[in-house]
Structure 1
């Protein structure tokens, strides 16, 4: 085994620092900041995830209750028959969604700066 010299160790440290800095800069999923609540395709409200709050959203089948607690959100109750959106549980990462199709309501976690919706070449 060849021992490391001072220059080798410095190059390894600089390489490791570059990898860590790149990961922190380019990894954008991170933590969601806002919850977008929709009903019938329209935005009902944008709620900050940092505030604890409960919101009732009317739909064709009844009321959907959205709960925001401790930086995450969920659909607490919904009148839909199969309860898929309620079973989805807590959402906290950008891009996560829960959709209640029969009641036409949905929630989506957003980040501060939106990524591209589509790209054209």
Structure 2
């Protein structure tokens, strides 16, 4: 029923799945330590996740109020029409973002990105 080629294909697929699972286990998001806020591609500011604070960004397109507390950040208020930015869950891990498209606002958690990605994956 099975020929030698079928066995080779099954083994190759099993190896690919195993390597993918190992790579996924190594790729875990680390806790971030700072928030980088950009508006229309320009850096607005950087804030520590360790400090509980409220940041209100008021620009010509409108305002957003970001709350940083207990190592997480979330959008508490915004005057944009869709308010999708307020629906994001609180962010705390490196690489997570909150985006407000009408206000061209991006909030990103930054941290030690080098430690979360493997340098090379060899099958």
Instruction: Settle same-fold status: TM greater than 0.5.
Output: yes
Which residue in 2 is equivalent to 1:52? 52
Q: Residue in 2 aligned with 1:5? A: none
2: CA distance, partners of 1:59 / 1:88? 21
| 1:44-102 CA-partner distances (Å, limit 9, x unpaired) | 11111011011111233321111110001011111111111110121111111111111
Q: Determine whether 1:111 maps to 2:111.
A: yes
Q: In the alignment, what sits opposite 1:83?
A: 83
Q: Kindly indicate whether residue 64 of structure 2 is the aligned counterpart of residue 68 of structure 1.
A: no
Segments of 5+ residues of structure 2 without an aligned counterpart are 1-25, 118-123
Counterparts of 2:101 and 2:51 in 1: how far apart (Å)?
Answer: 27
TM-score w.r.t. structure 2 length? 0.66
Is there any run of 5+ residues in structure 1 with no aligned partner, and where? 1-25, 117-121
Maintained 8 Å contact 1:37/1:43: yes
4+ aligned runs moved over 6 Å, structure 1: none
d(CA) in 2 for partners of 1:103, 1:27: 32
**1:28 deviation in Å?**
5.0
- Count matched residues: 93
> Using CA pairs below 8 Å that are at least 6 residues apart, which structure has the higher relative contact order?
2
* TM-score between the two structures when normalised by the length of structure 1: 0.67
How far apart, in 1, do the equivalents of 2:102 and 2:113 lie? Answer: 31
